[in-house]
Amino acid sequence: MQAYCVKCRAKREIKNPKSIVMKNKRPATQGVCPICGTKVFRIGK
């Protein structure tokens, strides 16, 4: 799964993806950018 990295300004493959549920009960995926190590986040399954 890919997510947009704000630091790299590009879509990157999510490293160590983890499924979470946001406060408004929507599913999301959180992980780390493999290039720069910044947190990346994607809403949806």
Residues 21, 29: Cα–Cα separation, whole Å: 8
> CA quadruple 29, 8, 36, 12: dihedral positive or negative?
positive
Mean pLDDT of 1-20: 96
**pLDDT tens digit string along 22-42?**
999 999 999 999 999 999 999
Query: Which pLDDT belongs to residue 7?
Result: 96
Q: Are 1 and 14 in contact (CB under 8 A)?
A: yes
Q: Are 1 and 29 in contact (CB under 8 A)?
A: yes
Mean pLDDT of 3-15: 96
Query: Which pLDDT belongs to residue 16?
Result: 95
Q: Are 20 and 30 in contact (CB under 8 A)?
A: yes
